[in-house]
Amino acid sequence: MQPIFDYIDNNRRLFIDRLIDYLRHPSISAHGIGMDQVADYLLTWLTSLGFDAHLMPTPGWPLVLARRFDQPATPTVLLYGHYDVQPPEPLEEWISPPFEPTIRNGRLYARGAGDNKGQHFAQILALESLLAVHGRLPCNVIVLLEGEEEVGSPHIAGFVRTHRDLLNADLVVTSDGPVAENGRPTIEFGVRGVVSFELRARGAKRDLHSGNFGGIAPNPLWTLVHLLGTMKNPRGDITIDGFYDNVLPPTQLERAVLACLPVDEQAAKRDLEIDHFDVPPDRPYYERLAFWPTLTINGLHGGYSGSGSKTVLPHEAFVKCDIRLVEAQTVEEIFAKVEAHVRRHAPGVEFIRQGGMDPSKTPLDSPYVQPLRQAILTAQGEEPLLVPAMGGSLPDYVFTKILGIPDFTVPYANADEANHAPNENLELDRFIRGIKTGAAMLTYLGQMQPSTVPARATDPSP
Amino acid sequence: MQPIFDYIDNNRRLFIDRLIDYLRHPSISAHGIGMDQVADYLLTWLTSLGFDAHLMPTPGWPLVLARRFDQPATPTVLLYGHYDVQPPEPLEEWISPPFEPTIRNGRLYARGAGDNKGQHFAQILALESLLAVHGRLPCNVIVLLEGEEEVGSPHIAGFVRTHRDLLNADLVVTSDGPVAENGRPTIEFGVRGVVSFELRARGAKRDLHSGNFGGIAPNPLWTLVHLLGTMKNPRGDITIDGFYDNVLPPTQLERAVLACLPVDEQAAKRDLEIDHFDVPPDRPYYERLAFWPTLTINGLHGGYSGSGSKTVLPHEAFVKCDIRLVEAQTVEEIFAKVEAHVRRHAPGVEFIRQGGMDPSKTPLDSPYVQPLRQAILTAQGEEPLLVPAMGGSLPDYVFTKILGIPDFTVPYANADEANHAPNENLELDRFIRGIKTGAAMLTYLGQMQPSTVPARATDPSP
């Protein structure tokens, strides 16, 4: 790997300047700012690298799809990323403006530095470096860059379903999110899914006097309180009928890997100014986070909200909730179970489905893990932590469930990258190590013995 | 009674003109508008009627107190009312301006027409008419007009406690509120009490990501939902420890009287556009309203309230509630029980006491009932309905609990008086019948046989 690492080190200044140029271009999907320009920027660059590159239209912003198949006998790696960024507001909290990238103390500050422009830029620079040094790539590569990740990826599932032929990869590698809190590199094998829903309760057609109608006319707030009380008990168990049917406990391997993940619960509680976490002894922190579903009330509103008191009986109320799903639960299953539960316990309450995303999990014993670990160790000098699943949700299921291929996330960004927040930043050393890691991953994947490469699924789930 | 009724009929036009003049004077306690002028207006009038009249200062607006003791051997009646009115907003919904009294279809429209200026004006005109016809009053009279009823009567209890010597009455008669829905006159014997409180729950010091902290960090909305679930069950029973200790079922007489009260539940449900009332067969409508306490959530707010979904775990939430108390429960007792319950079930939740008012009830078999019924029958031609207690709350306890004397409310206003709302109004025929009723009540009370007048309590509760 030395020649390629030397090439990257020798071009450090140039690569940073090129990232700065990329980050100067806003691409805010939520506000429709700069999206086409940045998609064209990527298209031009990938084409110049000899990729068969296209903008793929969707009902929203286009995807950038680029394919280069240099090594028929090697695995095909799909590198996923997203070229859209979060809106930069509140602007007044930025020390330097969000689209004027600025280096301070070895970090580059700009919207998108970590999430996700800086990280997929490193992946593409890895491709460029490999081509510059070797003239060809060590394995086959598909680059897929989405323009709607920050607005919930509404069209990628449909795109993947209708373009399986263009996405004939063996595995997916995504560089997004931060490394572990303690700075260790990680390989993430999955994410929880999510469903969001709203419940609306209605009482009389107008607010009533609590003295004349309290206890007599229905109170939509009591209706919601009692309904929610049937959905989760004070111990945190979700009590929706059949809810845990498809929840599997961690395997022995998963438990062993979870036990290696560092967590400083005391420090986290101090930071949040709370005196306890709801983490029972038999369900430790990361197992709770990755292997158990949750039901969170995001917001609940109804009735009087002013100062003092008002003896009113409100006529409507609503609650917004999300459920995090774990592997083997599905969005459809959980929506159906929640809706049936609401119909049974509070037939008058309106159930409104909002967004949903299936969970995703790749086996820890996948044969691709070894080359990825080796690449990270070689490029960064540290063994990665293995994270069986993340607590949050990403549309990884489009690869694992729709295409039926393993999906690995290998983040390059520092833990305090401040993604989605003012003063988003990326440590420049991590950016350079990311380019090296990308080059090493493709190299080691290309060197896999044919006998260890799994046959590609011929009939993935629809 | 005929001479006095004739006098009132002969002065109908004059009395209505004088009420119109009175209603032209705004007296909005919440906004501090016109209060002193209206208090002086009453003081001048009552002094001119030969009353020993004074403005009694309080930390808020003054009370008007006027005493005239013409008949040592007869009962002393305290006529209570309030000279302040609700703010008139929203002004644009008034057909004629709130302080330009206007007659339409036999009704006088103005703020205060029914609540309460028109009704205590009728009482004072009854005194004036009795003096004009007979030269003296048929019994002893104390007039007490408050200026803070519409802002929760914050100072009347203190005033009554420190001026027992000036309030040495045998009974209280208040003319306020509307007659029965079907137009029948009523005598009301009591009101429920009320306590208002707020519960505040806090989680982390900031909102958190539901994927990273849901189910792990405390969620103040779940805390409130589960706490509220321990306070009232879905059947409507309040499950706060010891809550029903002092709740007594209605007596046989009270049950019989309740059964006579008309209620058209179907029409009420149609009007409110709801399909059911929470009125179990063993606890019919008026018994539910008058003899059972209620716990109403007035407002509950926390977390996201915008459109769509947001996967946030909120860091704070609050709920505002009121409890209606029934006779023998007290504000102090219920505040203490709720606070103890909250401390036991959710020690981290802040309990904030807001306003409170004790309940009040006068026995249905009081000897004063007979003269009041006779007066209403004579002046209005109909037997009054007897209402053991109202669902709402008024500070009647200052008379029944502090002074230890019976308290009767005899409303003169039409059921659709629209008090507290735009286009408040009073039927002019009811106003005139009110003057007659006031005169007849005092006359019949003055004619009570000494043997039927109860001895006055010499040591009322402190």
Beta-bridge partners for B52: B67
In the chain, the amino acid numbered A262 is: P
**By the CB < 8 Å criterion, does B209 face chain A?**
yes
Q: Which of A297, A301, A352 to mutate to test the interface with B (most CBs of B within 10 A)?
A: A297
Mean of the per-residue pLDDT values of chain B = 95
Beta-bridge partners for A106: none
Give residues 252 to 291 of B whose Cβ lies within 8 Å of A. Answer: 272-279, 285, 288-289
Selecting from A225, A274, A299 the residue whose C-beta is nearest the C-beta of B303 gives A299
∠B224-A356-A354 over CA atoms, to 5°? 65
B394: which 2 tokens? 């008024």
- Looking at the predicted structure, is the pLDDT value of residue A356 above 50? yes
Task: Count Cβ neighbours within 10 Å for each residue of A205-244 and write b for 16 or more, e otherwise.
Answer: eebbebbebbbbbbbbbbbbbbbbbbbbeeebebebeebe
Q: pLDDT by residue (tens digit) across A386-409?
A: 999 999 998 999 999 999 999 999
Q: Are A82 and A146 in contact (CB under 8 A)?
A: yes
CA distance A372 to chain B (A): 25
Mean per-residue pLDDT, A414-421: 91
Mean per-residue pLDDT, A292-303: 97
- Looking at the predicted structure, is the pLDDT value of residue B107 above 60? yes
**8 Å CB contact of A221 and B192:** no
Please state the pTM of the whole predicted model. 0.89
**8 Å CB contact of A196 and B311:** yes
Contacts of A194 in chain B (CB under 8 A): 211, 311
Q: pLDDT by residue (tens digit) across A147-198?
A: 999 988 999 999 999 999 999 999 999 999 999 989 999 999 999 999 999 9
- Looking at the predicted structure, is the pLDDT value of residue A457 above 80? no
Q: Which of A151, A213, A216 to mutate to test the interface with B (most CBs of B within 10 A)?
A: A216
CA distance B87 to chain A (A): 16
- With cut-offs at 50, 70 and 90, classify the pLDDT of residue B457: low
β-pairing verdict for A171-174 and A407-409: parallel
- With cut-offs at 50, 70 and 90, classify the pLDDT of residue A334: very high
Contacts of B275 in chain A (CB under 8 A): 348
Q: pLDDT by residue (tens digit) across A45-63?
A: 999 999 999 999 999 999 9
- With cut-offs at 50, 70 and 90, classify the pLDDT of residue B462: very low
**8 Å CB contact of A272 and B198:** no
- What whole-number distance in Å separates Cα of residue A399 and Cα of residue A401? 6
**By the CB < 8 Å criterion, does A343 face chain B?**
no
Q: Are A409 and A187 in contact (CB under 8 A)?
A: yes
Q: What is the DSSP letter of A407?
A: E
CA distance B179 to chain A (A): 15
- With cut-offs at 50, 70 and 90, classify the pLDDT of residue B359: very high
What is the reported pLDDT for B282? 81
Mean per-residue pLDDT, A324-344: 97
- What whole-number distance in Å separates Cα of residue A452 and Cα of residue A366? 10
CA distance A212 to chain B (A): 5
Predicted-complex ipTM score: 0.89
- Tell me what percent of the residues of chain B surpass a pLDDT of 90: 89
Is A193-247+293-357 a CATH 3.40.50.720 domain? no
**By the CB < 8 Å criterion, does B344 face chain A?**
no
CA distance A356 to chain B (A): 10
Higher pLDDT, A230 or A280: A230
Dihedral of alpha carbons B260, B266, B267, B272, sign: positive
**8 Å CB contact of B216 and A273:** no
What is chain B's length?
A: 462
- What whole-number distance in Å separates Cα of residue A368 and Cα of residue A179? 20
Nearest alpha carbon to residue A448 among A375, A385, A391: A375
Q: pLDDT by residue (tens digit) across B60-73?
A: 999 999 999 999 88
- Looking at the predicted structure, is the pLDDT value of residue B292 above 50? yes
- Looking at the predicted structure, is the pLDDT value of residue A449 above 50? yes
Give residues 419 to 448 of A whose Cβ lies within 8 Å of B. Answer: none
**By the CB < 8 Å criterion, does A210 face chain B?**
yes
CA distance A289 to chain B (A): 7
Closest residue in A to B318 (Cα) is: A305
**By the CB < 8 Å criterion, does A106 face chain B?**
no
What is the reported pLDDT for A44? 98
- What whole-number distance in Å separates Cα of residue B79 and Cα of residue B49? 15
What is the reported pLDDT for A462? 46
Nearest alpha carbon to residue A452 among A365, A362, A361: A365
Instruction: Please state the domain extents for chain B.
Output: 2-191+360-452, 193-247+293-357
Higher pLDDT, A90 or B331: B331
Mean per-residue pLDDT, A119-131: 98
Give residues 313 to 342 of B whose Cβ lies within 8 Å of A. Answer: 313-314, 317, 320, 322, 324
Q: Are A408 and A86 in contact (CB under 8 A)?
A: no
- Looking at the predicted structure, is the pLDDT value of residue B458 above 60? no
Mean per-residue pLDDT, B357-372: 96
Q: Which fold does the domain B2-191+360-452 belong to in CATH?
A: Aminopeptidase (3.40.630)
Q: Are A237 and A292 in contact (CB under 8 A)?
A: no
Q: pLDDT by residue (tens digit) across B161-207?
A: 999 999 999 999 999 999 998 999 999 999 999 999 999 999 999 99
What is the reported pLDDT for B248? 93
- Looking at the predicted structure, is the pLDDT value of residue B460 above 50? no
**By the CB < 8 Å criterion, does A154 face chain B?**
no
CA distance A447 to chain B (A): 37
Q: A57: which residues sit within 8 A by CB, 6+ positions away? A: none
- What whole-number distance in Å separates Cα of residue B304 and Cα of residue B314? 8
